[in-house]
Chains A and B, each alone.
Chain A
Amino acid sequence: MSLLQHLSTSISSSSSAFLVHSNFNSRTKNVSLQAKRNGICKCVAAVPKESQTAYKTNVSRNGNLAKLQAGYLFPEIGRRRAAHLLKYPDAQVISLGIGDTTEPIPEVITSAMGKRSEELSTLEGYSGYGAEQGEKSLRAAIASTFYSNLGIEDDDIFVSDGAKCDISRLQVVFGADVTMAVQDPSYPAYVDSSVIMGQTGQFQKDVLKFESIEYMKCTPENGFFPDLSGVSRTDIIFFCSPNNPTGAAATREQLTQLVKFAKDNGSIIVYDSAYAMYMSEDNPRSIFEIPGAKEVAIETSSFSKYAGFTGVRLGWTVVPKELLFSDGFPVAKDFNRIVCTCFNGASNIAQAGGLACLSPEGLKAMHEVIGFYKENTDIIVETFNSLGFNVYGGKNAPYVWVHFPGRSSWDVFSEILEKTHVVTTPGSGFGPAGEGFVRVSAFGHRSNILEACKRFKQLYK
């Protein structure tokens, strides 16, 4: 069996089944989906009976983790998918849930990684620990590719193993005593990492929100941009554009408003631009296109969705020198300390791939793959439009945000899964304002996208 086959993901090794397939049997039962209240599936493992007599340490569980209501959203989707496959072993399940890239990585990029790998077995080519902030050449390439003329310098850029990891590292920098605002709906890692850090109070079941988090509603009614006049001040504002899950891309005007809001309030924006290259329209691709942003914003981005690097693991975060805490201390200095102490740099092989991505040939190749996924998105948008749904997103992001007014998004998710064997993501998983919506991801082989759309048409005709 080749190494590839050895390492292959099989259903049983996916994260969804990691804990379920353990020998710790009684816990497995508790993990299965039980209480469904207000459209939320409570998938919290209760304390198994066996461990009531088993040896326990005297170490208290971290109260912050106890506040988390369920598993992280995407492994939950994975669990449902796995359970569905068990129920229908012959079903051709199509996954448009987790936004996982599916198309092969262009050769110009993989051959660079192959070359770097081989070089590691030579005297001249071997390298050990790299700079924790990333290889100079890659930082320079990122600066010139994405931030030229925006006054962002090479050493403002920190290369990492991805945006999700960077979000937690930023939270570690900020600590427990800051307040934060998120869009509602939003990528779950912002809220979850905030809970883990201890920035939030308890989850309020009546409104499905965490105490102390400011939720900035983004709906069709407000063009998916929050009414900032109704938003209370927080220290940190997470903002993602193009948006996951709604697909909305903020305009220059809106971002100017946001930067002003941050400036007036002395807040820091953490701007997630992981989908910037999916932008079709003329909206800003970086927060730093807005004058004054360097004094109020951090930007995080990723090669995941541009280069299919979801498994290879490479991203970056920009922390401008001008960004200062209230006592004048540069945020970048603290981020650097975290990067040096809590991290050891992205894999050198992944970084070689990143550099190839940013070569002229690499950029061209990435644009082609992005174009392919955008065509998928068009097909999905057209399908739901033709079925009479109100459809959002899809123009500037690989996500389609479909409205099912008055319905519970987990119910719609289940219905679609049961009746069409297509996995999507329920909108309420992204926040209470996601209720009534379903996110359909456009990452998939063309044939699967077409087949899924065929099935949608059948279900909802």
Chain B
Amino acid sequence: MVQASLKAKRDGVGYRTKVPRNVNMENLQNGYLFSEISRCKLQHIEKFPNAKLISLGVGDTTEPLPDIIASSMAEYALALSTPEGYRGYGPEQGYEALRKAIAESFYKDISVKDTEIFVTDGSQCDITRLQLVLGANVTIAVQDPSYPVYQDSSIIIGQAGNYKDEALKCRNIEYMRCSPQNNFFPDLDTTSRADIIFFCSPNNPTGHAATRKQLEKLVEFARNNGSIIIFDSAYASYIMDDSPRSIFEIPGAREVAIEVSSFSKLAGFTGVRLGWTVVPEELLFSNGFPVRNDFDRIVCTCFSGASNIAQAGGLACLSSEGLKATESMVQYYMENARILVDTFTSLGLEVYGGANAPYVWVRFPGSKSWDVFSEILEKTHIITAPGSGFGAGGEEFLRISAYGNRKCILEASRRLGSFFS
């Protein structure tokens, strides 16, 4: 009888509270993209239990951490059992030593102060924290295609309004198309003003790293419109040419931009959880109030700091030995990317990205991306990411992640080669 009543409750037939569901949550059309992809993966495994599935969908790092980083974290963890080594609550903004090391490693010549850096448990979390700062009454612009969290978090916080059309575009979001035709940089002359502009470079999913000229245009656009750029530089360490690695390399950016970054892809910390956000002192709301103060308030009230063990790992990453080791890991993944780019190119397909980012963006003209995704999964047992999951501008495209063991990447290339020829 207990079972029956439990089932009844699961079907929503049981007692209901009188608490109205958050309308914003209703506005989220589907599950989160990467959860959906994981679901497809599980279904496929059930259907083909003996298939050797290769995951090039979710951009999940695969290579073990360098020894120096892992052992630093182990040492720190063990020391927590000693009176001298025990630490309780750390500063919510992160330990000063780590903030200083981040400033020194990534912002040395562009004068970002350690006091402008907030250490966190990762960019995905920071984007929501930023949305909490900004509130429901701001408008946003996103690249199209873009990392789904910008749009999803915007819907959740109540900025985005309802979906207005079949292409799953939100009423109140300005979509900045980024396609091969415009060199993956939006035509800002035809872009309407939005309070907040989310911009990711190197880009997830297209792989494009914006040039200095493009970022100068972006900063100018923001300045002219009094907008704030939220610049996602999570893949900056994958830049192989001299494209800017930080928005703050652009003069004037300090007064119009926030930068969000992460140790996830830099150091394989996808499970360890560590990132940072830079909010410059000069960044002010229209009434002159410093944005940094409000971000600090959110960080102190809605967060309790990144795990101290993860922070110890971060510090080890930024030692000279650590930087060398993480650099090799990045090179390893970029070699994977080159292999994938070569594979698709040799098959006569239109290939983008893969040069400054660990993502390869392949075009299948006239196709629906979920169809291509399904076909590839069914016939080659390779998981990719359908472009439309990143926005209407991603339809016809497939994102292939270069995160994988070399053997898997080579095997995937072989299978794709067979399938497409």
Interface, chain A (partner B; CB < 8 A) = 3-4, 6-10, 12-15, 18-19, 21-24, 27, 45, 47-48, 51-52, 54-65, 68, 71-72, 74-75, 98, 100-107, 109-111, 113-115, 117-123, 125-130, 151, 161-162, 164-165, 167-168, 172-178, 188-189, 192-193, 196-198, 235-236, 262-263, 265-268, 295-296, 308, 310-313, 321-330, 334, 337-338, 340-350, 353, 443
Contact = CB atoms under 8 A, between A and B. Distances in A.
A164 B91 contact: no
Contacts of A198: 135-136
Interface string B274-313: 0000000111111111101110111011111111111111
Given A308-B80, A348-B271, 12 more contacts: A7-B311, A61-B289, A65-B294, A120-B268, A121-B66, A122-B64, A265-B18, A295-B9, A327-B21, A340-B32, A344-B122, A347-B309
Contacts of A52: 288
B128 interface: yes
A296 B309 contact: no
A174 to B, nearest CB: 6
B372 interface: no
Category for how many chain B residues contact A = 35 or more
B290 A24 contact: yes
A111 B78 contact: yes
Given A60-B287, A267-B19, A100 B135 contact: no
Interface in B1-50: 2, 6, 9-10, 12-25, 28, 31-32, 34-35
A56 B282 CA distance: 8
A310 B89 contact: yes
Give the most central of B2, B285, B301: most A CB within 10 Å: B301
Contacts of A120: 64-65, 70, 73, 268, 271-272
A173 B156 CA distance: 8
Contacts of B158: 175-176
A114 B150 CA distance: 35
A295 B64 CA distance: 44
Interface of B: 2, 6, 9-10, 12-25, 28, 31-32, 34-35, 58, 60-67, 69-93, 95-98, 113, 115, 121-122, 124-125, 127-128, 132-138, 149, 152-153, 156-158, 195-196, 222-223, 225-228, 255-256, 268, 270-273, 281-290, 292-294, 296-298, 300-313, 315-316, 403
A175 B285 CA distance: 24
Task: List 8 A-B pairs, minimum CB-CB distance, nearest first.
Answer: A58-B226, A266-B18, A13-B96, A62-B135, A175-B22, A328-B12, A121-B70, A168-B302
Contacts of A62: 133-135, 137-138, 294
B20 A311 contact: no
A168 B15 CA distance: 26
B307 A350 contact: yes
B96 A12 contact: yes
**Which of B31, B58, B121, B225 has the largest number of chain A CB atoms within 10 A?**
B121
Given A3-B72, A9-B87, A175-B24, A56 B19 contact: no
A96 to B, nearest CB: 13
A43 to B, nearest CB: 11
Nearest to B289: A61
Contact of A347 (B72, B272, B289): B272
A113 B310 CA distance: 11
Residue among A15, A125, A168, A174 with most chain B CB within 10 A: A15
A347 B377 CA distance: 31
A330 B64 CA distance: 38
Given A65-B297, A344-B124, A54 B273 contact: no
Tell which of B17, B272, B308 has the most Cβ of chain A within 10 Å. Answer: B17
Contacts of B85: 4, 104
A313 B94 CA distance: 13
Nearest to B18: A266
Contacts of A168: 132, 301-303
B106 to A, nearest CB: 18
B284 A51 contact: yes
B304 A161 contact: yes
